[in-house]
């Protein structure tokens, strides 16, 4: 019984440190909006979208108790996207992006908002205490321009060697 308490204390303590570090990083980076969290992202220097621009696409993130589906969202290009947040869980969940944008919904409800995704993508979590530690994390990845999905041939020159043996002339 005492051992279980020690594990619980260590797990929740590290989770608190992790969430606190994320919040401090967001505040220090200056990407969050003054006056609290809103459902729309502030434009950043990294994103090509202009202030007041229309969303260039949309995606849906579904929350269930201690998880997101999908946990890895892929978008074609950086810019502002409409996000539909579906909470299939039984309690309040949110999707909080690394820039401070938060979209929240009570259990069995849906909410929408907008977020500006920079060229290098961004992460997201559920900011309800303990939920990110329980696995409610994810990322938005931006496709690389010109990527075909096929492996790139290596740029080797000269004869190839196999198993440490020299090739014949």
For every residue of 42-93, DSSP letters joined together read PP-TTS-PPTTPPPSEEEEEEEETTEEESSEEEESSSEEEEEEEEE-SSS-E
- So where are the chain's domains? 2-142
Q: Was domain 2-142 assigned CATH 2.60.40.420?
A: yes
Interatomic CA distance for residues 146 and 76, integer angstroms: 11
Interatomic CA distance for residues 56 and 86, integer angstroms: 20
pTM of the model: 0.57
The answer, yes or no, to whether residue 150 has pLDDT greater than 50, is no
pLDDT at 144: 79
Q: Give the pLDDT confidence of 18-37 residue by residue, as tens digits.
A: 555 555 555 555 544 443 33
The answer, yes or no, to whether residue 153 has pLDDT greater than 50, is no
The answer, yes or no, to whether residue 155 has pLDDT greater than 50, is no
Q: Within a 10 A sphere around the Cβ of 64, how many other Cβ atoms?
A: 14
Which of 41, 163, 59, 29 lies closest to 100, judged by CA?
Answer: 41
Peptide bond into 163 cis (omega under 30): no
């Amino acid at each position: 019984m005492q051992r279980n308490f020690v594990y619980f204390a260590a797990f929740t303590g590290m989770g608190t440190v992790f969430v606190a570090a994320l919040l401090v990083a967001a505040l220090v980076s200056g990407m969050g909006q003054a006056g609290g969290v809103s459902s729309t992202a502030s434009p950043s220097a990294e994103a090509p979208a202009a202030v007041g621009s229309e969303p260039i696409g949309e995606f849906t993130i579904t929350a269930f108790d201690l998880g997101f589906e999908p946990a890895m969202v892929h978008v074609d290009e950086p810019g502002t996207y409409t996000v539909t947040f579906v909470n299939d869980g039984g309690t309040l969940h949110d999707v909080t992006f690394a820039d401070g944008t938060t979209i929240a919904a009570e259990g069995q409800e849906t909410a929408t908002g907008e977020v500006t995704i920079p060229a290098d993508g961004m992460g997201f979590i559920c900011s309800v205490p303990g939920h990110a530690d329980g696995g409610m994390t994810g990322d938005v990845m931006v496709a690389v321009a010109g990527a075909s999905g096929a492996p790139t041939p290596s740029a080797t020159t000269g004869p190839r060697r196999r198993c440490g043996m020299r090739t014949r002339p």
